[in-house]
A and B are shown apart, each in its own frame.
Chain A
């Protein structure tokens, strides 16, 4: 039987506010346990939550960026369950009236473009951390993270493969970091993905029973977990088994998912509106003020890159993978006025070098202006592609500016035809055998001569010119 995979993602993005969503404590990562937990975070008796408007503004910003509906009145609810790292015994979240509803995100899988619709995005507070390893026979509680603002972003179940799920997660990651509402640091848990996965016979309209894979904190794990889960579900069904609704965890070491709790064990969260917090009211002035802080979004920039710089849809999508990358590309492209060439260099030589050195675009040793200057020298014939790569290496090593490196290393493409003729004379004189072979019809011998000329010029000769001049001389 042919199966179809159905995936919906719930992504917890940690909002990059300096203080927590309902208290003044810092949200900075990595402090000593419980040093960033105030009376409110510890849930001492009598303390009350006070909403951080910055978190609301980030949610508005997200809603505007995905073209969603912003609920002008939205409400905080209490979600109740007992756990030691949940100090109040309830989490403040939004159930019935989330701040953001609807909206859509464009994803690119290879050359294919798809629109994924979002269900909703709601504000909530994070829980603390339970530290099971560090205390023998006991569990430590760190409440530094308790109360950190989260925007939980829920997609429609519209993805049909792990590749699409990863593309969606990446596009979302790009967007939330692009608009500056999340630092995107997946290792620190700033962007955590839950995947709802089900399978159904191809052509069937109703969904299969889903299982939810919790807390995936890398794109690779997301892909592996979904692939494993899909295989497991299909095998289970093909063996005559049934899928029970459940929450599962992904074990990255064994590359498999395992059951965390079944539907029967699911909590009754006893949601009700939090009486300590007034409904959030969004007025038009507030929304417009936030809209004014939005700069050009990835989708708009992709369209512009295609029309302005003539790059392909795929290249445009890659180049807008992050704000920093897009800015880099555009600075370089403007500096040399060569969009396509700039795109090739950024996605080719530069990306390869950055990957190899495990550096982020923001840490690139070669600045966008330098790359632009380099491309300019290719364009004006000063450098061949090969020489340009040597200059790029120089730039990477911090050997100075483009022209200085060209000068210092003598990498300038030979423009003086007299000098080239002299080299050709010498090469022809030194390789009579090759000349003889060429004249007797062996084309290979020509290439050997070209190689000799290039070598003698230390790569500075223009290959096209070498070809032309050499042919002219040999046919004499």
Chain B
């Protein structure tokens, strides 16, 4: 499979050069070969995948194929999938099979895209390295001693290792963009409300947003066309006219104003990452863009604000995992309280427990005003900074993460060090803005570097235009790790 972009695969399927079944089998074989080393998948079910692929072939034979019918995709294990396990990377849901499909899954099914399986992730999407998964850490395909980033680490790794042509991810504080950066692929977090959260296991409801992950911006564009749309089952889903995100892909970048937040190029940023991002800026200038320095002064407060709000919502969202109705229940207990305590003590991992405790604390009587309310105010200030910035620029550019992938175990003992990995990605979540990460080089260890674009609300088409034009002029996104076999 030399040419595996989604449009190329779609063209081959349309030309009947390959069937969906053959394509699915190709990826299943690759998963079987590589997954033991990478651990990108929690659940693979070849029979189901092939049945879905056969259905896609039948759809095509009947003349009912859509643009991506027959192209397979891997789904993050946070999306409920009828008939498949949905574990969310947790012992708590190690045995859970949802009786329904998440809205996102429904859309991919309706598009005729077979599922390759459920990808590994940090437990309940809490983590930046994929080391908190109950099903074991995911390895970075560029160097298996390194983390793939998180929480959508399995998704990023399976795409980077070409075990899947594309994957779904979710992003609460950078969980699509940071692993995309660390694995050398492209990933997009849409404007909050553009993609329905129905059937997505909730981490922090006001921040969670699903998005596409694939090698290129063009791939992400095609996936975004499938994923977005109003859903009456999600009250925060936005009721707006459906867009075709491919419409601006080929626009030239002349006149584009790129905002460079000075806070994102300051202390804490790895030199090699800085150099690669600056080189990308030069590339964009060659394509006709101009740059303008902007300030996102309150973004330095993004991490503390995030680590009040996200755990607050998480502590509440995870209350339903109590051992009463489904999921894990402690085998032995003496009474109801003991059942709750043991179930949750045994069912949740350390990072999840840490965040539940933080969240319960900041919502407690007497602390709510000082933490939760204060954080909400700062959240507003952070959003206002972006509003000001977009008066002078069309898109904001900076590094996705302060460094490249780190070694497995290197930061897992130090939560704060780990949290700092999301320094540049969290502000977009707090503001509800769309953001994406795309590959822009490699460090001296051969690990990928990602640059981040943040756009104004609903400016996905613009961001994808910038990313696509950049990717037409560069080939970072086309590189894949070698020697995995």
Chain A residues engaging chain B, CB cutoff 8 angstroms? 39, 42-51, 78, 80, 82, 84, 87-90, 139, 141, 268, 270-272, 275-278
Pick the contact of A43 from B98, B99, B320 — CB < 8 Å? B320
Q: For residue A45, give the distance in angstroms from its CB to the closest CB of chain B.
A: 4
Q: Do B325 and A87 have beta carbons less than 8 Å apart?
A: yes
Q: Residue B252 at the A interface, CB < 8 A?
A: no
Closest 7 CB pairs of A and B: A89-B319, A270-B363, A275-B205, A275-B206, A46-B199, A45-B201, A43-B320
Pick the contact of B365 from A45, A46, A141, A268 — CB < 8 Å? A268
Q: Kindly list chain A residues whose C-beta atoms are within 8 Å of the C-beta of B98.
A: 44-46
Q: Do A45 and B86 have beta carbons less than 8 Å apart?
A: yes
| Residue in A48, A50, A88, A268 with the greatest tally of chain B CB atoms within 10 Å | A48
Q: Do A268 and B364 have beta carbons less than 8 Å apart?
A: yes
Other than the given A39-B99, A50-B235, 16 more pairs (CB < 8 A) read A43-B320, A43-B325, A45-B320, A46-B86, A46-B102, A48-B198, A49-B235, A84-B336, A87-B324, A139-B336, A270-B365, A272-B312, A272-B363, A272-B372, A275-B206, A276-B235
| Residue in B206, B234, B320, B360 with the greatest tally of chain A CB atoms within 10 Å | B320
Contact residues of B: prevailing secondary structure: loop
The verdict on A90 contacting B316 (CB below 8 Å), with A48-B233, A268-B364, A272-B372 known, is yes
In the bound assembly, the distance between CA atoms of A89 and B92 in angstroms comes to 15
In the bound assembly, the distance between CA atoms of A45 and B197 in angstroms comes to 11
The verdict on A141 contacting B324 (CB below 8 Å), with A48-B234, A270-B364, A272-B372 known, is yes
In the bound assembly, the distance between CA atoms of A44 and B96 in angstroms comes to 10
Q: Kindly list chain B residues whose C-beta atoms are within 8 Å of the C-beta of A139.
A: 336
The verdict on A80 contacting B316 (CB below 8 Å), with A47-B198, A48-B234, A272-B368 known, is yes
Q: Do B202 and A270 have beta carbons less than 8 Å apart?
A: no
Q: For residue B32, give the distance in angstroms from its CB to the closest CB of chain A.
A: 29
In the bound assembly, the distance between CA atoms of A49 and B316 in angstroms comes to 14
Q: Do B365 and A272 have beta carbons less than 8 Å apart?
A: no
Q: Do A48 and B319 have beta carbons less than 8 Å apart?
A: no
Q: Do B199 and A47 have beta carbons less than 8 Å apart?
A: yes
Q: Do B233 and A44 have beta carbons less than 8 Å apart?
A: no
In the bound assembly, the distance between CA atoms of A275 and B102 in angstroms comes to 19
Q: Kindly list chain B residues whose C-beta atoms are within 8 Å of the C-beta of A46.
A: 79-80, 86, 98, 102, 197-202
Q: How many A-B residue pairs have CB under 8 A?
A: 97
Q: Do B93 and A45 have beta carbons less than 8 Å apart?
A: yes
Q: Residue B333 at the A interface, CB < 8 A?
A: no
Q: For residue A234, give the distance in angstroms from its CB to the closest CB of chain B.
A: 32
Q: Do B100 and A89 have beta carbons less than 8 Å apart?
A: no
In the bound assembly, the distance between CA atoms of A88 and B320 in angstroms comes to 4
Q: Do B320 and A272 have beta carbons less than 8 Å apart?
A: no
Q: Do B313 and A275 have beta carbons less than 8 Å apart?
A: yes
Q: Residue B340 at the A interface, CB < 8 A?
A: yes
Q: Kindly list chain A residues whose C-beta atoms are within 8 Å of the C-beta of B197.
A: 46, 48
Q: Kindly list chain A residues whose C-beta atoms are within 8 Å of the C-beta of B290.
A: none
> Which chain B residue has the least Cβ–Cβ distance from A51?
B235
Q: For residue A272, give the distance in angstroms from its CB to the closest CB of chain B.
A: 5
Q: Do A88 and B319 have beta carbons less than 8 Å apart?
A: yes
Q: Do B96 and A45 have beta carbons less than 8 Å apart?
A: yes
Q: Kindly list chain A residues whose C-beta atoms are within 8 Å of the C-beta of B312.
A: 272
Q: Sample 9 A-B pairs with CB under 8 A, ordered by A number.
A: A42-B325, A45-B86, A46-B98, A49-B235, A80-B319, A141-B324, A270-B368, A275-B204, A276-B205
Q: Do A82 and B322 have beta carbons less than 8 Å apart?
A: yes
In the bound assembly, the distance between CA atoms of A51 and B233 in angstroms comes to 10
Q: Residue B459 at the A interface, CB < 8 A?
A: no
Q: Residue B236 at the A interface, CB < 8 A?
A: yes
Against A, the Cβ 8 Å flags (1 = close, 0 = not) of B359-370 are 010011100100
> Which chain A residue has the least Cβ–Cβ distance from B196?
A48
Q: For residue A39, give the distance in angstroms from its CB to the closest CB of chain B.
A: 6
Q: Kindly list chain B residues whose C-beta atoms are within 8 Å of the C-beta of A268.
A: 364-365
Q: For residue A32, give the distance in angstroms from its CB to the closest CB of chain B.
A: 17
In the bound assembly, the distance between CA atoms of A88 and B347 in angstroms comes to 17
In the bound assembly, the distance between CA atoms of A133 and B102 in angstroms comes to 38
> Which chain A residue has the least Cβ–Cβ distance from B327?
A45
Q: Kindly list chain A residues whose C-beta atoms are within 8 Å of the C-beta of B363.
A: 80, 270-272
Q: Do B236 and A87 have beta carbons less than 8 Å apart?
A: no
Q: Kindly list chain B residues whose C-beta atoms are within 8 Å of the C-beta of A51.
A: 235
Against A, the Cβ 8 Å flags (1 = close, 0 = not) of B372-413 are 100000000000000000000000000000000000000000
In the bound assembly, the distance between CA atoms of A46 and B340 in angstroms comes to 21
Q: Kindly list chain B residues whose C-beta atoms are within 8 Å of the C-beta of A270.
A: 315-316, 360, 363-365, 368
Q: Kindly list chain B residues whose C-beta atoms are within 8 Å of the C-beta of A276.
A: 202, 205, 235-236
Pick the contact of A278 from B99, B235, B364 — CB < 8 Å? B235
Q: Do B326 and A50 have beta carbons less than 8 Å apart?
A: no
Against A, the Cβ 8 Å flags (1 = close, 0 = not) of B331-375 are 000001000100000000000000000001001110010001000
> Which chain B residue has the least Cβ–Cβ distance from A88?
B320
In the bound assembly, the distance between CA atoms of A39 and B102 in angstroms comes to 12
> Which chain B residue has the least Cβ–Cβ distance from A139?
B336
Q: Residue B232 at the A interface, CB < 8 A?
A: yes
Q: Residue B88 at the A interface, CB < 8 A?
A: yes
Tell me the B74-99 residues at the A interface (CB within 8 Å). Answer: 79-80, 86, 88, 93, 96, 98-99
> Which chain A residue has the least Cβ–Cβ distance from B90?
A45
Q: For residue B18, give the distance in angstroms from its CB to the closest CB of chain A.
A: 34
Q: For residue A10, give the distance in angstroms from its CB to the closest CB of chain B.
A: 20
In the bound assembly, the distance between CA atoms of A277 and B360 in angstroms comes to 20
Q: Kindly list chain A residues whose C-beta atoms are within 8 Å of the C-beta of B372.
A: 272
Q: Do A89 and B364 have beta carbons less than 8 Å apart?
A: no
Q: Do B319 and A82 have beta carbons less than 8 Å apart?
A: yes
Against A, the Cβ 8 Å flags (1 = close, 0 = not) of B212-232 are 000000000000000000001
Q: Kindly list chain A residues whose C-beta atoms are within 8 Å of the C-beta of B233.
A: 48, 50
Q: Kindly list chain A residues whose C-beta atoms are within 8 Å of the C-beta of B200.
A: 46
In the bound assembly, the distance between CA atoms of A277 and B233 in angstroms comes to 11
Q: For residue B238, give the distance in angstroms from its CB to the closest CB of chain A.
A: 11
In the bound assembly, the distance between CA atoms of A43 and B317 in angstroms comes to 10
Q: Do A44 and B236 have beta carbons less than 8 Å apart?
A: no
Q: Do A45 and B80 have beta carbons less than 8 Å apart?
A: yes
